[in-house]
Structures are given as structure tokens and as C-alpha cells.
Amino acid sequence: MIYEQHRAQLIGVMREMADSGLVIGTWGNASCRADQHILITPSGMDYMMMQPEDLALLDMDGAVAAGKWRPSVESPLHLAIYRARPEVRAIVHVHSVNASAFAVANQAIPVVLEEMAQIIGHPVVTAAYARCGSARLAAAVLSALGAQGQAVLLANHGQLTLGRNLPEALKRARIVEKSAEVTLKAQALGAIHPLSPEVVNDLRAAFKDYGVKEVQP
């Protein structure tokens, strides 16, 4: 079985999505690049039962290169993003409750938390509604993401996040959901106060140097 590490990581992410309540049942999906192919979840399979060999391996034209199960209905959307954004290595799509509320209201999630500024770097806007799995949805999402967007809401549907790897894409999905929840709770208390674009840019730039580093003598 090829791409064993990719497969194991993708299965792990799908189970985390289910365990954390970001998805219910078999909704949602995730994928990652594997050389000139992508690995993506099959359609309609329980995430807790899914095994590495169940994943579908597609070429960049969408043809199935390996796997016996039909790939996710959202495969055209994932492929469109990978073709348009070569730097993207992983995509996570979830139906988390608070982010979905913003998607239903067709409202952007503002940058209200420093961690959203650091890891997303922009308000999360809602792409125009189109049926799941359609070419229109892929076009709407690409338009909403632009050249550098890291997260987007799908109208009346859910949220989608990008990453350089699967853990980063999943972390972004969690941050989007947390930011949506905090915004809704803050609105119940009164006016919210999003971070200014200048502060967002500063936090985003500073975060690039964040991480565990040895103290230099």
C-alpha cells in the first residue's frame, strides 16, 4: 500500500474531527497531497470504521488511481483548490455548529481573537451558495478564498480550511469554530471589537517566528 504515512495521518485527522464534534455521522471530509496525487476520504463511510486502505487516491484530473470506494462528493472542490493553490498540502471540511451559523446568516466571522489573527490572518467570509459537489461550488470557494485565504465558509453548509499539512488545516478548523463561538457569545453581551487590520498583520507576521527555540548564549 503506497503513501502509508499520509494515509495514517488522514485517518487520524478524520477521527479527531468526529471525536471533537466538528462533524456528525459521515458528513465532512479531508484530503492531502501525495506527490502528484491526492488522498481523500471515501463517500459515506463511518470515520471510526475507516481504515487506511479505504482512502481514495486520485490524480490531479480526478481519476481514481487506487482505492475501491467512491471518493467524497467534494473531490472536485478539493482538486480545484489544489490546482489553483500549489502551496496547499491539506484541506479539512467540517460542519461545526457555530461556524455553520455564520454560514447560514451569510456573515463573515471577524478576527476577534489573537490566535485567529496568528493562524488565519483574515475574517472568514462566506462563499456564495452552490450545491455540494458542483463545479459552481468550487468556483465560489476559490473566489472567496482568493490567492492567500486560509479558511472560508460555505453558505448553508459548513467551513473549509487549508494547511501546509493536515494538523495545520485541522487546527485552523478548530480556531475558526472557536472564533465563531466567541463572537456569538460576545455579541450577546454587547458590541464586539474586532482586531484592526494593522494589528492582525502585526500578529500574523510575529507568529511566523513563534515556536520552541533554544536560548542563544
Nearest to residue 100, comparing CAs of 184, 167, 193? 184
Please state, as a whole number, how many other Cβ atoms lie within 10 Å of the Cβ of residue 194. 18
Sign for the pseudo-dihedral over CA of 75, 76, 79, 84: negative
H-helix segments, 20-127: 75-84, 97-105, 114-119
Q: Is the distance from CB of 183 to CB of 192 less than 8 angstroms?
A: yes
State yes or no: is 74 an active-site residue. Answer: yes
Q: Which residue in the list 4, 16, 53, 74 is annotated as catalytic?
A: 74
Report which residue type is found at 142: L
Q: Is the distance from CB of 186 to CB of 157 less than 8 angstroms?
A: no
Which grid coordinates are listed for 176?
Answer: 475558526
Q: Can you say how many angstroms the Cα of residue 99 is from the centroid of all Cα atoms in its chain?
A: 12
Q: Which are the contacts of 188, defined by CB distance < 8 A and separation ≥ 6?
A: none
Which grid coordinates are listed for 128?
Answer: 456564495
Would you name the residues annotated as active-site residues?
74
